[in-house]
Amino acid sequence: MIKSALEKVINEDMAEIWSLLSQEEKRAVAENLVIHTFKKNQLIYAEGDDPEYLWVLFKGKVKKTKEGVGGRVQILRLIRPVQYFGYRAYFAEQPYISSATAIEPSMIGAVPLSLVRQLIQNNINLAWFFIKELSHNLGGSDTRIVNLTQKHIRGRLAEAIIVLLDNYGYEEDNSTLKIYMAREDLANLSNMTTSNAIRTLSTFVNEKILVVDGRRIKIVNEPMLRKISKFG
């Protein structure tokens, strides 16, 4: 019998996938789903690891990163509840080419990818779900590559802040981002050095686009921030 707490998590948080499964498939997922808790900055999986699980973020925030030339880290993607990650490498039959780390204390479910493969082979609706997920992520990656390589520093940082807003939203004051990122992470998301990120943030503050208090970023002129992001 599924414990009530686990049943609630599955029925509510995994509703999009859950609705695609038969009763037998639901039982298989419920019996194999394991929920893990990760501390802030704790590694979930590392580049080079063999993929074993489909990960689903229930609570918290996760970043996917890749180490580049000279050990410089680039944030490839931010994960929010409830999103699935860590499965592309399995479908490609290769080790992970990036790492995943908890940005804050997080609750993450893990389903064996061997089971997911079995389910997909017999459930075309589930297969189509993952095809759409992968296609959406690929489209987003294509856009990010162009923006990170063609926009100027101001445009890249503005876009990074908009990405944070679109992923995690505002706090109750409707102006403070609901995520507190270190300057280094903000730089890694924007494809720039930490010093450039700090200087550009200060410029946005002087222009009354942002108010910054430690890691808290308050957007006071969202239309202007989006304009800078759009035109680079």
Query: What are 66-121's pLDDT values in tens digits?
Result: 998 888 899 999 999 999 999 999 999 999 999 999 999 999 999 999 999 999 99
Reduce the DSSP state of residue 145 to 3 states and report it. helix
pLDDT at 88: 96
Predicted confidence at residue 5, as pLDDT, reads 58
Could you please state the CATH topology (level 3) that the domain comprising 4-148 is classified under: Jelly Rolls (2.60.120)
Q: Which amino acid is at 200?
A: T
Q: What is the spatial distance between Cα 181 and Cα 168, in angstroms, rounded to a whole number?
A: 12
What confidence score (pLDDT) does residue 211 get?
A: 96
Q: Which residues lie closer than 8 Å to 89 by C-beta, 6 or more apart?
A: 51, 95, 96, 97
Are 174 and 168 spatial neighbours (Cβ–Cβ below 8 Å)? no
Q: Give the pLDDT of residue 77.
A: 94
Does domain 151-231 fall under CATH 1.10.287.1080? My reply is no
Contact (CB, 8 A) for 163 and 189 = yes
Instruction: Identify the pLDDT of residue 146.
Output: 84
In the sheet with 62-67, reading across from the earlier edge strand, the strands are 43-45, 99-102, 62-67, 73-79
Q: How many angstroms separate the CA atoms of 32 and 30, rounded?
A: 6
Q: Is 69 exposed, middle or buried (0-12, 13-18, 19+ CB in 10 A)?
A: exposed
**Cα dihedral angle (21, 23, 24, 27), rounded to 10 degrees?**
90
Domain with CATH 1.10.10.10 in the chain: 151-231
Task: Specify the pLDDT at position 2.
Answer: 46
**E-strand stretches of the chain:** 34-38, 43-45, 53-59, 62-67, 73-79, 84-85, 99-102, 106-112, 210-213, 216-219
In the chain the first and final C-alpha atoms are separated, in Å, by 54
Q: What is the pLDDT at residue 80?
A: 95
Where does the chain hold its CATH 2.60.120.10 domain(s)?
A: 4-148
Residues of the chain with pLDDT under 50: 1-2
97 HSE (CA, 13 A, CB side) = 10
